[in-house]
Amino acid sequence: MRGLAVFISDIRNCKSKEAEIKRINKELANIRSKFKGDKALDGYSKKKYVCKLLFIFLLGHDIDFGHMEAVNLLSSNKYTEKQIGYLFISVLVNSNSELIRLINNAIKNDLSSRNPTFMCLALHCIANVGSREMAEAFAGEIPRILVAGDTMDSVKQSAALCLLRLYKTSPDLVLMGEWTSRVVHLLNDQHMGVVTAAISLITCLSQKNPDEFKTCVSLAVSRLSRIVSSASTDLQDYTYYFVPAPWLSCKLLRLLQCYPPPEDGAVKGRLVECLETILNKAQEPPKSKKVQHSNAKNAILFEAISLIIHYDSEPNLLVRACNQLGQFLQHRETNLRYLALESMCTLASSEFSHEAVKTHIETVINALKTERDVSVRQRAADLLYAMCDRSNAKQIVAEMLSYLETADYSIREEMVLKVAILAEKYAVDYSWYVDTILNLIRIAGDYVSEEVWYRVIQIVINRDDVQGYAAKTVFEALQAPACHENMVKVGGYILGEFGNLIAGDPRSSPLVQFNLLHSKFHLCSVPTRALLLSAYIKFINLFPETKSTIQEVLRSDSQIRNSDVELQQRAVEYLKLSSIASTDVLATVLEEMPPFPERESSILAKLKKKKGPGAVSVNELEEGKREGGELNGGGERGGDSSAIASTPSPSADLLGLRAGPPVTAAAPSAGSLLVDVFSEAGVNDDGFLRFVCKNNGVLFENQLLQIGIKSEYRQNLGRMYLFYGNKTSVQFVTFTTTVTCPGDTLVLEPLIEGGAQVQQVINIECLTDFSDAPLLNIKFRYGGALQNLTLKLPVTINKFFQPTEMASHDFFQRWKQLSLPQQEAQKIFKANHAMDTEVLKAKLLGLGMALLENVDPNPENFVCAGVIQTKAQQVGSLLRLEPNAQAQMYRLTVRSSKDTVSKRLCELLAEQF
């Protein structure tokens, strides 16, 4: 086509972009006039013009005409014209429905033409466009072509992929029918091309309808075994550089990954044999020095390893796979190192091979340091993250931190998140955690997102054993002449809360602290300045001696007349507050922040979002939570764990479960480490709080599992029945539950009842009063993935109440007796539910105390009395609830002979009304 060649040469000779556009516009005008002209164009010219249009399109110019001509071409009887018409339509897909209708007509003709070339062209077009209209028109026809006995192989191949495309775009239109079983049998087809095409279709269909296509497993295994055991010359043209049918082998191994290991012993044996052969071949000397040979061989090997990891049931194969990958880690081919790191990442989550993967830690760290290719370094970082556990966390985090200093910009943010997560998840002592995060801010401050620094503050606030250390560390970090704004934020917040803990040292006296913070003030952005202003007012409360200095700062024009409304308002309000409020009021208003409630980390969620679904498994999230929860409670993991199989266990064994060592009294409320003010309320807590005033109900429910609870209490003893309901149709394997109790306060004895329904009984004995709920950890495997779940068991101190009736006189006498300030706990809170008297009464009764009538002079108020029975002692408690319907508020006052009990009851009840 000379015209085309001339045009292309013209374009290539254009000296400037403008000249090129000019030439293209000229050509477009020419083609347009030719298409519109009266003179009928012959096939050759039409083809020439369409080719020109394709070329123009490839250069990035929109083509908005020529579709009609293309439809004319593809309706022609000549191959040349038809082919170019279809090509145009598949490259320049247009969703104009009028046009699609015309195209559909032509396709229909070609499909019924019995000319294989035309049929293939038509099928290609459907597969390329894949629109809804096409699916509607052809979804019924194509399966017929695919399984018809007289269809030629090349057409079958196209039909299989065409059907796959339609199934992907409009699964509702592709109806399963009798053809499905015949499609599965295409795996047995003699023509390897047909198998190649069909296997993509079967894989996709099996993923969506595993049961209907189950028979493909044995067929795939036998096909695979025939290929693997064939000599390299047997498959003729499908042998690629001495490797028999590598592409098809990979696809067969992928298909098998849609299913669990075959149940049929013979099939499984054959498959294991195949996998072993593949692993053996890797050790044989290569049949060719060409890179293509080793490529093809290793493509199969990596798929085989993926399958082994997917099955996760053959320790022998897993170890071999791990060793093989270990060899590849040091291979001179970069591609193989990359893939080995990637595969090892999945291997690290298998319990059989986690330890084996860990032995390669030095190699992986070395890869992170020395690989020239950022893709490979990133895989190494991923693998370090995956293989991290408590034993190597310090080493890995240190390596990642040092890598961060030189890391590529593209992966810094992700690295920061990973370091933050690992540091939190595996923190044994929190000073290490604080150091790590502050280092993180120092090294890569720009990449530390809000989630990360929010988190470190939450953790410091919730753990008073680390507060002093944190204050000291940030104070030192702020000494640096240039420090990152995120550091100033963390520093401002922490010194504002806990600066008093280091104020004793003259080197960090209140004024020194203030001056240090204020020296950074002018370099910071508005939000940070606002935070610092709040820190200053907190200083006034903590250190009255700084009051005049700070007031002066607040009074300065640059604050009180700041053009930013927020800053100005803060300056004005804080100044006023500090000058008119009494010390007491100031102390109340500026009290230390209360601990944050337990929430799930949003850093993980962020990493998940960043990496896309699938990158961080739900497992990991759950695991993070569990690890944290465990740490927090301060208690060790409970002594024994009891196993519940999803099938009834033959011996209902009685396992004693003792709680871990007691928590130090100073520890803040348990399980409050993994807190996050910014994420939504943790579901588990909600479930837990619902049970304060009732004993039966559903504790937890997700797509897989439902847990119901029934419980009864008498004196200081209780019994709890947990009912586990499997909501799926698949068995849960290795279902284990562990109950841990923080502190030596409760004795929990889980028993397992055999029987059809899986039910667990827990006997409870209350030794002394407590505020931390026991934790129930549940682990099981569902479809190969480990599920891990930690719930708070709704055992609360009020469950051991014994109601006490008494007259008004007695009540007030006792009320007065409990007059020590620490014996009383009071809370004023907003009503969460309607203030219905009957509902309130029912709730108070559910609490377990006696509801006393005619005691309080105000009939609107409720008073209750009860005695908490523990093994160690009895704790008498009195309660008064004063609703204020107008303000929709309550005042709740609890007095009891033990201060911790008052406090805990008050906390529990405040959430109920």
Partner 1 sequence: MIKAILIFNNHGKPRLSKFYEHYTEDTEQQIIRETFHLVSKRDENVCNFLEGGLLIGGSENKLIYRHYATLYFVFCVDSSESELGILDLIQVFVETLDKCFENVCELDLIFHMDKVHNILAEMVMGGMVLETNMSEIITQAEAHNKMEKSEAGIAGAPARAVSAVKNMNLPEMPKNINIGDISIKVPNLPSFK
Residues annotated as binding site?
A: 2-3, 34, 44, 48-52
The one among 75, 200, 402, 646 contacting partner 1 by CB under 8 A: 200
> Contacts by 859-863 with C-beta closer than 8 Å and gap 24+?
860/885, 863/811
By beta-carbon proximity to partner 1, the closer residue of 294 and 562 is 294
> Contacts by 235-240 with C-beta closer than 8 Å and gap 24+?
235/192, 238/192, 240/292, 240/296
User: Using the rule CB under 8 A, is 74 a contact of partner 1?
Assistant: no
- Please work out the total of residues on this chain that contact partner 1, with binding judged by CB under 8 A: 84
Give the footprint of partner 1 on residues 362-381 (CB under 8 A).
372-373, 375-376, 378
Instruction: Give me 77's structure tokens.
Output: 């009887």
Tally of CB atoms within 10 A around 588: 11
The one among 338, 426, 713, 724 contacting partner 1 by CB under 8 A: 338
User: Using the rule CB under 8 A, is 872 a contact of partner 1?
Assistant: no
User: Using the rule CB under 8 A, is 343 a contact of partner 1?
Assistant: no
Residue 684: partners with Cβ closer than 8 Å, 6 or more residues away: 700, 790, 791, 792
User: Using the rule CB under 8 A, is 679 a contact of partner 1?
Assistant: no
By beta-carbon proximity to partner 1, the closer residue of 196 and 716 is 196
User: Using the rule CB under 8 A, is 782 a contact of partner 1?
Assistant: no
Min separation Cβ 142 and partner 1, Å:
12
Instruction: Give me 44's structure tokens.
Output: 């050759």
Q: Residue 341 in 3-state DSSP?
A: helix
The one among 35, 179, 242, 247 contacting partner 1 by CB under 8 A: 247
User: Using the rule CB under 8 A, is 80 a contact of partner 1?
Assistant: yes
Min separation Cβ 522 and partner 1, Å:
37
Give the footprint of partner 1 on residues 609-648 (CB under 8 A).
611-612, 615
Angstrom distance (rounded) from CA 341 to CA 351? 18
User: Using the rule CB under 8 A, is 897 a contact of partner 1?
Assistant: no
The one among 41, 102, 152, 717 contacting partner 1 by CB under 8 A: 152
Min separation Cβ 282 and partner 1, Å:
13
Min separation Cβ 410 and partner 1, Å:
9
By beta-carbon proximity to partner 1, the closer residue of 239 and 706 is 239
By beta-carbon proximity to partner 1, the closer residue of 207 and 359 is 207
Q: CA quadruple 459, 461, 466, 472: dihedral positive or negative?
A: positive
User: Using the rule CB under 8 A, is 655 a contact of partner 1?
Assistant: no
Give the footprint of partner 1 on residues 91-130 (CB under 8 A).
91, 93, 116-117, 123-124, 127-128, 130
Within 694-787, where are the H helices? none
The answer to whether 471 and 502 have CB atoms below 8 angstroms apart is yes
Sort 35 into a burial class: Cβ within 10 Å, 0-12 / 13-18 / 19+. Answer: middle
Min separation Cβ 92 and partner 1, Å:
8
Give the footprint of partner 1 on residues 132-151 (CB under 8 A).
149-151
User: Using the rule CB under 8 A, is 4 a contact of partner 1?
Assistant: yes
The one among 25, 44, 112, 873 contacting partner 1 by CB under 8 A: 44
Instruction: Give me 533's structure tokens.
Output: 């202003």
Interacting span for partner 1 (CB under 8 A) from 56-64, 465-473, 633-641, 817-825: 56-64
Angstrom distance (rounded) from CA 629 to CA 619? 15
The one among 138, 240, 732, 800 contacting partner 1 by CB under 8 A: 240
Interacting span for partner 1 (CB under 8 A) from 77-85, 170-178, 439-447, 628-636: 77-85
Torsion of CA 118, 123, 128, 129, to 10 degrees: 100
Angstrom distance (rounded) from CA 634 to CA 670? 8
The one among 36, 178, 211, 236 contacting partner 1 by CB under 8 A: 236
Min separation Cβ 413 and partner 1, Å:
13
Interacting span for partner 1 (CB under 8 A) from 51-59, 399-407, 467-475, 784-792: 51-59
User: Using the rule CB under 8 A, is 325 a contact of partner 1?
Assistant: no
The one among 62, 178, 284, 405 contacting partner 1 by CB under 8 A: 62
By beta-carbon proximity to partner 1, the closer residue of 296 and 847 is 296
The closest of 390, 418, 856, 833 to 631, measured between CA atoms, is 390
Torsion of CA 485, 486, 489, 495, to 10 degrees: -110
By beta-carbon proximity to partner 1, the closer residue of 66 and 638 is 66
For residues 158 to 197, the per-residue mask of contacts with partner 1, x marking binding by CB under 8 A and - elsewhere, is x--xx-xx------------------------xxxx--xx
The answer to whether 53 and 66 have CB atoms below 8 angstroms apart is yes
Min separation Cβ 299 and partner 1, Å:
4
The answer to whether 691 and 700 have CB atoms below 8 angstroms apart is no
Q: Look at strands 705-714 and 824-830 and give their pairing.
A: unpaired
The closest of 796, 786, 612, 823 to 695, measured between CA atoms, is 796
At 83, the amino acid letter reads Q
By beta-carbon proximity to partner 1, the closer residue of 52 and 799 is 52
Angstrom distance (rounded) from CA 688 to CA 703? 19
At residue 719, what are phi and psi to the nearest 5 degrees? Answer: -140, 135
Instruction: Give me 862's structure tokens.
Output: 């409720």
Angstrom distance (rounded) from CA 260 to CA 248? 20
Give the footprint of partner 1 on residues 248-287 (CB under 8 A).
248, 250, 254
The one among 97, 334, 370, 558 contacting partner 1 by CB under 8 A: 334
The one among 25, 68, 79, 327 contacting partner 1 by CB under 8 A: 79
User: Using the rule CB under 8 A, is 78 a contact of partner 1?
Assistant: yes
The one among 72, 109, 222, 230 contacting partner 1 by CB under 8 A: 230
User: Using the rule CB under 8 A, is 72 a contact of partner 1?
Assistant: no
Instruction: Give me 726's structure tokens.
Output: 């499997």
CA separation, residue 773 to residues 491, 566, 791 (Å): 33, 42, 10
Q: Taking phi first (over 0 means left), then psi (-120 to 50 degrees means alpha), and beta for anything else, what does residue 607 get?
A: alpha
In order, the DSSP letters of 441-460 are HHHHGGG--HHHHHHHHHHH
